[in-house]
Structure 1
Amino acid sequence: MNIDHNIYNEEISIAAYYIWNQEHSYENLCWFLAERQLYVERNFTSAKKDDIRDRAYYIYKEHPPYDILCWFIGELDLYIKRNTSFRTFNTLFSK
Structure 2
Amino acid sequence: MSTEEISIAAYYIWHEEHSYEKLCWLLAERQLYVEKNFSIAKKGDIRDRAYYIYKENPPYDVLCWFIGELNLYIKRNTSFRTFNTLFSK
Q: TM-score range by the shorter chain?
A: over 0.9
Other-structure match for 2:56: 62
Q: Which runs of 5+ in 1 are unaligned?
A: 1-6
Name the count of aligned residue pairs.
89
What's the offset of the Cα at 1:64? 0.1
Q: In proportion to residue count, which structure has more helix?
A: 2
What's the offset of the Cα at 1:74? 0.1
Hey, which bits of structure 1, 4+ residues long, moved more than 3 A? none
Q: CA RMSD in A?
A: 0.3
TM, length-normalised to structure 2: 0.99
Q: Which runs of 5+ in 2 are unaligned?
A: none
TM, length-normalised to structure 1: 0.93
What's the offset of the Cα at 1:42? 0.5
Which amino acid is 1:51 matched to?
D
* Percentage of identical aligned residues: 84
